Amino acid sequence: MDAFSRSSASPPRPVVGSVVHAAAILRHLGRAERPQGVTAIAAHLGLSPSSCFNILKTLAAEDLAVFDPETRTYALGPGVIEIARSALGRDEVVRAARSAMHRIAEDYDVAVGLWRLGGRERLTLTALAESEATARIHLVIGQRQPADAGATGRAVLASRNAPDDMVRLACSRVRWQQAPSPEDYVDQVRQARRQGWAIDVDQIIRGMTTVAAALCDGRGAVRYTLSASTFTGREAPERIEAIGEALRDAASGVERLVYGRGATG
């Protein structure tokens, strides 16, 4: 049987090992909190040091990785950001959400993020809108976080109608700065399900309040979340509620535009 007659149920395995390893190295560098050396990267990924070294040299030559000769460590390079921006610029959801994101950022003086739900249950920041007046909250395109964490995590779990035991398990997996109790987390997810948006106050990051709403495709599966972040105590509760409702409405608008959800006639 040749490669072209294989069943669609068992797709062909990748055949270019060096490409697979290069992708694994880039993902590892993206998750790492600090630059890392060849030995540490190779050990983490189960690669031979010599192969890892050669791939890293190639990535650095292509500007996809940066080598620090003083510490002899590697980090992601600016070429990765350029590629990501090119890809995200063609994302239909990003284009559809952009105007609403900027409007909310300006109206409420918040940092508004669009997060894409990807593999390994991680959310990746794919677009960002900030008010000119905002005292900057540090968000960077491409940063990632667990899908269960913070306001975005509550919004995802609520949209999925996750059962209570799954919500408790999700709560236990998150690295909170100020952890809610599992039962409080269940209650918060239930509230998010009722109102269409979720909130996190000081729990994932002390000093920050974030509200979020999930954005689902035509089958009702969560694909993105919209979030708005501000400094805790800066806004009155009724204004936080207005921000949550604005995010919920913006997410619904993108769902109709891109996926046809809620469309009639």
Domain positions in the chain are 15-77, 91-259
Question: How high is the pLDDT of residue 86?
Answer: 61
Which is more confident, 259 or 212? Answer: 212
From the options 1.10.287.3610, 3.40.190.10, 3.60.21.10, 3.30.450.40, give the CATH code of 91-259.
Answer: 3.30.450.40
In this predicted model, what pLDDT tens digit does every residue of 39-89 receive, in sequence order?
999 999 999 999 999 999 999 999 999 999 999 999 998 888 777 766 554
Confidence of residue 10 (pLDDT cuts 50, 70, 90): very low
Q: Name the DSSP letter for residue 230.
A: E
pLDDT at 13: 55
pLDDT range class, residue 1, cuts 50, 70, 90: very low
In percent, the amount of the chain with pLDDT more than 90 equals 70
Choose which CATH entry (3.40.50.1820, 3.30.1360.120, 3.20.20.70, 1.10.10.10) describes domain 15-77.
Answer: 1.10.10.10
Q: Binning pLDDT at 50, 70 and 90, where does residue 141 land?
A: confident
Q: Is the pLDDT of residue 144 over 90?
A: no
Is residue 54 a contact partner of residue 25, using CB atoms and an 8 Å limit?
A: no
Residue type, 36: Q
- Give pLDDT tens digits for 190-240: 999 999 999 999 999 999 999 999 999 989 999 999 999 999 999 999 999
Q: Is the dihedral of CA 99, 83, 153, 237 positive or negative?
A: negative
Angstrom distance (rounded) from CA 149 to CA 94: 22
What's the pTM? 0.68
Identify the burial level of 51 via C-beta atoms within 10 angstroms of its C-beta, where 0-12 means exposed, 13-18 middle and 19 or more buried.
middle
